[in-house]
Amino acid sequence: MNCRETQELLHAYFDGELDLVHSLEIERHMDECPNCMTAYQRQQSLRSAVRGSSLYFKAPATLESRLRDRLREVHAAETDRVQRLERTLSPRAIPSQAPARTDLGSSWNRWGLRWSLIGAAAGFGLAAIVISMLVLKPARPTPEQLLAQDVVANHIRSLMPNHLTDVASSDQHNVKPWFNGKLDFSPPVVDLAPEGFPLLGGRLDYLAGRPVAALVYGRRKHLINVFVWPSGESAHDSAGPPKITTIQGYNVLHWTRSGTTYWAVSDVNSKELGEFVRLLQAR
C-alpha cells in the first residue's frame, strides 16, 4: 500500500472500521513511512483532546422530570382517544335504524349509518394495529439472520473506494491462484461473462469469524459479491433452490454445496440474482 491509499483509508482504520486485510497493510506501510505515521498520531492527539475535555453535555435533571410529566400527559390523551373510540364501537353506541318518520329523522338515520360505518372502519384499523403488534413483535434474530446482515455490511463496505477487489481480473486463472497461501481452501472461481455476469476480481474478506474468499461479479452497472468458505463437517447440501431474502434493499441468497458455504449479495433484482446463482451452481 502506498501513501495515497493509506491516507484514503486512514480514518476508517483509525475508527476500527477497516477490514483485517487492509488494516494489516496500513500497519505495514506505517512501519516504514514516518509521514503516514505522523498523520496517524495527529489523529490520536486530536481524539484524546476532544474526548478528554468534558465536551459531553449531559441532560439537566429537570429535563428528565419535565419530560416524564409530558409523556404521561401525551399517554393519557392517547388512552382517552382509544377509549372514546371503543365506546363508539360498542353496540349501544350504534343508533337503531328505525324507519324514518320525518325528514329530520331520516337525516339522523343517515348520520347513524354513517357513524356506524366509520366505527366499523376504525374497528378494523384498531384490530389491524393490535394484530400487527402481536405478530410483529421483534423476535431475536437467528444466527443465520445475523450472518446475512454481516454479508450485507461487507457488501456495502466493498463498495467504498478501493475496497472492491484485491486482485482485479476477469480471468479466472488469475483470480483462483491469487487466493493460494491466503486462505486454507481453494475457492471455486468461474467466469460467467458469456452469460452476462463478468468476473471482476477477488478479495479477501472476513465473515463468520474466519477469512473468506469474496468473488466479485458485474451485472450491467451493478455488482454482485459472492462469499465462499468451507462449511463445517455437519453441513448438508441445502435442498431445493436457495431462499432469497432482502436486507436494507439488498437481495441475499444463501446455499451450501459439496461442503462449501455460499452467500451471494447484490442490488440487482431478485430474478436476475436467482438466475446468476443457477448459472453458478450449474458449473
Q: Which of residues 164-183 bind another protein (CB under 8 A)?
A: none
Q: Please give the size of the binding site for another protein, defined by CB under 8 A.
A: 52
CB of residue 280 to another protein, shortest distance in Å: 27
- Sheet order of strands, 260-266 included: 167-168, 199-207, 210-219, 222-230, 260-266, 250-257, 243-247
Q: How many CB atoms lie within 10 A of CB 43?
A: 15
Task: Pull the grid cell for residue 230.
Answer: 468451507
Measured CA to CA in angstroms, residue 190 lies from 128, 174, 226, 231, 238 at distances of: 49, 11, 11, 20, 21
Q: Least distance (Å) from another protein to the CB of residue 129?
A: 7
The answer to the question of residue 84 lying near another protein (CB under 8 A) is: no
* Least distance CB 78 / another protein (angstroms): 8
* Element containing residue 103 per DSSP (H, E): helix 103-135
Nearer CB in complex with another protein: 63/98: 63
138, 194, 209, 232: residue in contact with another protein (rule CB under 8 A): 138
Report the interhelical angle of 20-32 vs 3-14 (nearest 10°). Answer: 120
Q: Interface mask (CB under 8 A) for another protein, residues 33-72, using x and -?
A: -----xx-xxxxxxxxxxx-xxxxxxxx--xx-xxx-xxx
**Inter-residue contact 214 to 227 (CB < 8 Å):** yes
Q: Based on CB atoms, which residue is closest to another protein, 133 or 282?
A: 133
Radius of gyration of the chain (CA): 30
Strands 199-207 and 167-168, by their bridges, are: antiparallel
Q: Find cell 475457492 and name the residue.
A: 187
Residue among 24, 27, 28, 75 that touches another protein (CB under 8 A): 75
| Minimum CB–partner distance for residue 244 and another protein (Å) | 21
Looking at beta carbons only, is 64 or 237 nearer to another protein? 64
| Min CB(62)–another protein separation in Å | 8
* Binds another protein by CB under 8 A, chosen from 118, 120, 128, 160: 160
Nearer to another protein, 139 or 282 (CB): 139
Amino acid identity of 137? K
Q: Is 174 exposed, middle or buried (0-12, 13-18, 19+ CB in 10 A)?
A: middle
Secondary structure (DSSP) of 30-83:
HHH-HHHHHHHHHHHHHHHHHHTS----PPPHHHHHHHHHHHHHHHHHHHHHHH
- Smallest gap from Cβ 229 to another protein, in A, equals 23
Task: Determine contact, residues 227/212, Cβ cutoff 8 Å.
Answer: yes
**Which is nearer to another protein, 14 or 108 (by Cβ)?**
14
Task: Tell me which residues touch another protein (CB under 8 A).
Answer: 7, 10-12, 15, 17, 38-39, 41-51, 53-60, 63-64, 66-68, 70-72, 74-75, 78-79, 82, 129-130, 133-134, 136, 138, 153, 156-157, 159-161
